[in-house]
Amino acid sequence: MKKYLVLILSFYVLNLHSQEIDISSKTIQFDFTYQSPITGMSIDYGNNSAIGLSYLTNKNDLLFGLDANFMFGNNVKNDSILQLIGVDNLLLINANGELDEVLLYERGANTHLLFGKSFRFEEKHLSGIYAYGGLGYLQYKTRLETNKTYLPQIDEEYIKGYDNFTNGISTKICVDFMHFDKKTSVNYHIGLEFLNAFTKNRRAYNFSEGAVIDNSLKIDQLIGFKFGIIIPIQRNNEEKFHYN
């Protein structure tokens, strides 16, 4: 009798060890990020915001995905870029002979292929710390905007001498806390990101300085605080049993 009990217990223990938990999910995330430039970009721009959309899959804690973000702000440090053609810095004379104010904005975008790992708090639940990085592309420029009057000084061709259009290869590192509610559909994430881009100014001439632009490679870096909502489009927490 004792031999049978030992065999039954042994089979039970082996069965527990052969149990596997299959965790998988596919999510769409809507993000808001507040970014601060710390190297090259900080010369021309201050803090900016970004809104983004990302797709992330989690298969047994391995992460893969893609994101795209639109960057915007109004903190352009060089407000004298039109001083050589303006009446008073950002005031230009339009085609009707009237003074017209030019507003300066920062505009940009970045996108990355993502990969990483999740560190979940519970074996059967998706909430936890998600660490991932990516390789992609970043670009930005200064947008010159008027009240829709015609300014020949900054038409489609001349404006390229003032807009500081810059782009290049970018890397990204993110650490997020992601919360997936067990009872409701309230899912959110909050975290930090770091962007490191190797960029060049793509224009040939700087009209505001009357000089040829230095097109050498430079490093642009951004630190961001981000948060957003998570929309699961597929979520599986399955236990699989294997018997020998």
Whole-number Å distance between alpha carbons of 129 and 148: 48
pLDDT tens per residue, range 117-168:
999 999 888 999 999 999 999 999 999 998 778 888 888 889 999 999 999 9
DSSP string, 62-107: EEEEEEEEEEEES-BS-TTTTTTT-SSSSEEE-TTS-EEE-EEEEE
Q: How far is CA 196 from CA 37, 38, 86, 137, 140, in A?
A: 10, 10, 35, 10, 14
Residue 197 contacts residue 169 (beta carbons within 8 Å): yes
pLDDT tens per residue, range 45-83:
999 999 999 999 999 999 999 999 999 999 999 888 888
pLDDT in the model for residue 83? 84
pTM over 0.85: no
Structurally, at CATH architecture level, domain 24-236 sits in: Beta Barrel (2.40)
- In the chain, where the domains are located: 24-236
pLDDT in the model for residue 211? 87
pLDDT tens per residue, range 3-29:
444 433 443 443 434 344 567 889 999
